[in-house]
Amino acid sequence: MAAAAHETQPATQHHTTMGIDNRKVLMWIFLASECLFFGALISTYLIFKGDSLVGPYPKEILNIPVTSASTFVLLMSSLTMVLAVYGAQHGRLGMMKVMLLATVLLGIGFLGFQAYEFTEFVHEGLGLTTNQFGSSFFVLTSFHGAHVTVGVLYLLSLLLASNRRTGLGHDRALHIDLAGLYWHFVDVIWIVIFTIIYLIPN
Amino acid sequence: MATAIGAMTHTEEDYGLWSWLTTVDHKRIGAVYTVAGFLFFLVGGLEAVAVRTQLAVPNGTVLDAESYNQFFTMHALTMIFLAIMPMGAGFFNYFIPLQIGARDVAFPRLNALSLWIFLGGGLLLNSSFFLGGAPNGGWFGYAPLSSIEYAKTSGMTFYVVGLLTLGVSTLIASLNFAVTIINMRAPGMSMMRLPVFIWMVLVVAFLLILSLPVLTVGLLQLYFDRVWGTSFFSPATGGDPILWQHIFWIFGHPEVYVLILPSMGIVSEVLPVMSKKPLFGYSAIVFAGAAIGVLGFGVWAHHMFTTGLGPVPQVVFSASTMAIGIPTGIKIFNWLGTMYGGNIRFVTATYFSVAFIAMFTIGGISGVMHASPPVDGHHQDSYFVVAHLHYVLFGGAIMGIFSGLFYWFPKMSGRMLDEGLGKITFWLMFVGMNLTFFPMHFLGLAGMPRRIYRYDADLGWETWNMVATLGSYTIALSVFIFLINVIKTMRKDKDAGDDPWGGATLEWATSSPPPAHDFDVIPEVRDRDPLWHDRDHGIARAAVPEHNHIHMPPPSYFPLIVALGALLLAVGSMTHLSVLGLGVVICIYGVWGWALEPTD
């Protein structure tokens, strides 16, 4: 920008020390913070493993086939997210929008599975306050679900904004990329949660 | 609303209320943080004076047990979250861009958001006094003191929701500072040329970014325990009160360094300038600061030696706690080495910095004593610990902040604080704090427990308690004189000039107070002490281009809207789901408006 100093000197945009956009650095550091958030929730789950004084106990109630299906849905949403980022970076706006929509729908699908699972558990007698398993399970998975919900709203907002006359502007690829980082993170966290709660024998 | 401010016209500024509510200028935000933090410091100080008055004589009758519990809890919460951290954040906001040669922080609107959420959270926490009772279970909120069976008033719910709100504000601010320092440096400002103050802020930012989410989880679990009937922390139904202690101290010990590192940074700025010497052992002090940050995550269980951790954890945490004394000791020798052989100017800022070193050393040494589990078992929950932590937080953090206030006040206001009144403030505060806190060592070793609201006359504790109370009045007097100093100074004409101390760092290369865009020309950095280097090498400041149109981000009211939504969320989580829902809607509206608002 030095050559154009007599025109304008932008205050905050464009030039950065590392050559990476500020927003991207922010997202990476934010996700580091989120790791500790989920780390603490997962630790709590592990600490209370086997501490339930009354049932239902995990092995009586966890429905691994159904949750495998919902995990598959969320994994597929990461694939469509990758394709949306590709579309945004290569100027293929149609592909970007379709893939954003697909990611949103898959995300809603995952949330649907979670709503079904929660309802089933309550019917079978496992509530938030039933035992330590119920408390730590519901708090952990519902905060993950809340992150998916925020992700769905985030992607939906981008989809709506991309249909404006001005679209997503010249930072289009960055906006989709940032949402992608967040979405993949939430997906990876689910893989950890799925492994720890459902797959490792109780 | 975009304003292009010509290089020579610094006066086109609007100071109406609306301009403050919508400002995204890091200097204004920093000023509001500092002033608000100082007002909360006064509130927390009055709470401390009430506590000391109650304890002045045996079987005091000033406070009853319940209000005593509220006062000592709110004293700690206020001083930690509403006074020391915000006053630090005020300096961070004001001086990060100025010291790294930037025009603003990376995210000016996020900066405003963190300010408004902080103010909302602080008022929310304090409103509990008028809404059924303030938090009364200590700032550490140990279960079961915090559980619904034993803390029946809404006080501890205010604690949970207030700290969650303040945590969100702090996290946003920390992310912003970290990105700014990493990514917004002026040309030539490499990491190893950063002022030590900025390095310490970076360490603090990462400490908070990595420790606050853990506290957040603990607070959410406590919230579910209190409001929704879970039993994370109640043993009767399978919960574990020790889990809370782990979660709390995984946050709580890094938090101690969050409180002290900014002051270490301030002292590292003040001493070289006042000794007219570069900082002794720059890289050692930087790496020591980073090492404190890393080790700070591995010492938390030394707060829990008496909970029956078992021999192996006790040995590990004892060793790591002793290890963290090493980088701390390195810094102390760096400061002494900086002053050694220097041409020292004994102004008030120097007094406070030197006192910081001495007082912090006392607090540090009594801290290392607690690293030994058998000794810790003797000191646990006694006044000895109160003495230790106040030598660190008052003798350390507060002394450093006052040094910073005297050092930077000319830059922030354009006016020099009165040196005579300043030295009276210093001596009263220095004598007062030692009168207050040193006798607490004796009281602790004589067996006086913490957090008791009265004691019998025949225990031999009367003399030192009376001395401590008189000391606290002395501190209050010193703060009063500081206030007179500020009022007196703000009524005189601007007399500071750009660089009253002959400073080494970039904030002294612009006017006092700086223009909205900070620098007419972004400086080029050629050395760790850029101003001294340029002076010694006869390098003149870059000329201002003829048509210097600097584009600053326009003001925005969306941070205020999002903060309002966040506050409603907090209130709603204590009252009614409809309020919570309204908060969510306002947040979403605010974020959308924010995202779509043009910033060019």
CATH number, domain of A40, equals 1.20.120.80
| Lowest mean pLDDT segment, chosen from B89-93, B129-133, B149-153, B284-288 | B149-153
Give the pTM: 0.93
Taking an 8 Å cut-off on Cβ atoms, the answer to whether B546 and A41 are in contact is no
Nearest to A32 among B209, B216, B600 (CB): B209
Query: What is the predicted pLDDT for the residue at A8?
Result: 41
Q: What is the DSSP string of B282-317?
A: HHHHHHHHHHHHHHGGG-GGGGGGGG---HHHHHHH
Q: How far apart are the first and last CA of chain B?
A: 9
Per-residue pLDDT for B27 more than 90?
yes
Query: How many other β-carbons are positioned within 10 Å of the β-carbon of residue A55?
Result: 15
Residue A92 lies in a domain: yes
Query: Domain coordinates of chain B in residue numbers?
Result: 33-537
C-alpha atoms less than 13 angstroms from C-alpha of A111 in its C-beta half-sphere: 18
Contact of A4 with chain B, judged by CB distance below 8 Å, is answered with no
The rounded distance, in Å, linking the Cα atoms of B171 and B124 is 18
The rounded distance, in Å, linking the Cα atoms of B159 and B166 is 10
Taking an 8 Å cut-off on Cβ atoms, the answer to whether A22 and B175 are in contact is no
User: Which domain, by its residues, includes A188?
Assistant: 18-199
pLDDT tens for A70-82 read 999 999 999 999 9
Q: What distances in angstroms separate CA B541 from CA A17, A173, B25, B107, B286, one per listed residue? A: 22, 39, 24, 28, 28
Per-residue pLDDT for B5 more than 50?
no
Per-residue pLDDT for B425 more than 70?
yes
**What is the DSSP secondary structure assignment for residue B193, as one 8-state letter?**
G
Query: What is the predicted pLDDT for the residue at B527?
Result: 92
Residue A13 lies in a domain: no
- The more confidently predicted of residues A19 and B51 is B51
Handedness of CA B476, B482, B486, B488 (dihedral sign): positive
Interface-testing mutation among B183, B224, B525, with chain A (most A C-beta atoms within 10 A): B183
With CA atoms as reference, report the closest residue to B303 among B259, B254, B256, B249: B249
Per-residue pLDDT for B6 more than 50?
no
Residue A4 lies in a domain: no
Please tell me the class of the B33-537 domain: mainly alpha
pLDDT tens for B462-489 read 999 999 999 999 999 999 999 999 999 9
Contact of B228 with chain A, judged by CB distance below 8 Å, is answered with yes
Contact of A31 with chain B, judged by CB distance below 8 Å, is answered with no
Query: What is the predicted pLDDT for the residue at B300?
Result: 93
ipTM above 0.85, yes or no: yes
Q: How many domains does chain A have?
A: 1
Q: Which residue of A has its CA nearest to B517?
A: A11
Query: What is the predicted pLDDT for the residue at B294?
Result: 93
Mean pLDDT of chain B: 92
Backbone angles phi, psi at B80, to 5 degrees: -75, -55
Q: Which residue of A has its CA nearest to B108?
A: A12
